[in-house]
Amino acid sequence: MDSLYKWIGSREILHNITFNVNDGEIFGLVGPNGAGKTTTMRVLATLLLPDRGNVFVDDLDIVANQNKIRKKMAYVPEEAGIYKNVTGYEYLRFVAHMYSETDRDAETMVNRGEELSGLGVRLNDKTKSYSKGMKRRLQIARALMVHPRVALLDEPTSGIDVTYTVKIRKMIMEYARNFRAIVILSSHNMYEVETLCDRIAMIHQGRIIALGTPRDIVGGESDLEAAFIKMVGENEI
């Protein structure tokens, strides 16, 4: 991503956003509400077009190659919806058939999604009966089960209990490492970002104000949260 700018009307949402993500790397976007994290995600997911700048995935420009890029990506928004009148299994099968060429491949993906979700027999129930955390688990499972080249995860552990939060973090890390995939995640959980991400970009008012490893950004502060508050200011949190 090089010199990305985005406006909504006359309001500048993103200003000169520039970063790259390496194979097998988990890259975090952090910042206060309204900083531009979700807009950056939506541009990467080809849901929004950049007004200026260039974004490439495997040397493919995302504007000129939207269909090819979408096949390489899986995006889980913070408020991802699920068809409420289908079962968890039906939802996984629906997604699997969009990404696979054969029934056998689709079934392999569904089996992988079942394992990743950890929902067990509840996959037989309609998703309208699921808690927020269960829906989130299903969404993360459907994203990773298709083995995307790039996984975009906006607040991946939002609404999930502590036990499964640990499992999801492990799942994300193993996925990035084992498949040399790129994971870009946004999170307000500073502990999660500090322990999970290889590098982070701290965004404030649409601009990157810090870029580097969590250790680099923490510097002389006690932790990433303290560094975040110092850079952004308490009145902006």
Residue ranges per structural domain of the chain: 2-80+149-236
Whole-number pLDDT of residue 10: 94
Residue 20 has pLDDT above 80, yes or no: yes
Residue 80 has pLDDT above 80, yes or no: no
Q: Of 170, 155, 151, nearest to 80 (Cα)?
A: 155
Residue 82 has pLDDT above 80, yes or no: yes
**What's the average model confidence in pLDDT over 45-67?**
95
How confident is residue 208, by pLDDT bands cut at 50, 70 and 90?
very high
pLDDT tens digit string along 148-180? 999 999 999 988 888 888 888 998 999 999 999
Q: How far apart are CA 223 and CA 152, in angstroms?
A: 25
How confident is residue 197, by pLDDT bands cut at 50, 70 and 90?
very high
**What's the average model confidence in pLDDT over 226-231?**
90
Average pLDDT, the chain: 93
**What's the average model confidence in pLDDT over 192-196?**
93
3-state secondary structure of 84: coil
**What's the average model confidence in pLDDT over 193-213?**
96
Whole-number pLDDT of residue 164: 85
Give the whole-number percent of the chain exceeding pLDDT 90. 84
Whole-number pLDDT of residue 236: 56
**What's the average model confidence in pLDDT over 20-46?**
95
For residues 118 and 130, the answer to whether their CB atoms sit within 8 Å is no
Residue 147 has pLDDT above 80, yes or no: yes
pTM, full prediction: 0.93
Cα 80–85–86 angle (5° rounding)? 80
Q: How far apart are CA 193 and CA 169, in angstroms?
A: 10
Q: What is the CA radius of gyration of the chain?
A: 18
Q: Domain spanning 2-80+149-236: which CATH class is it, in words?
A: alpha beta
160 vs 211: which has the higher pLDDT: 211
How confident is residue 133, by pLDDT bands cut at 50, 70 and 90?
confident
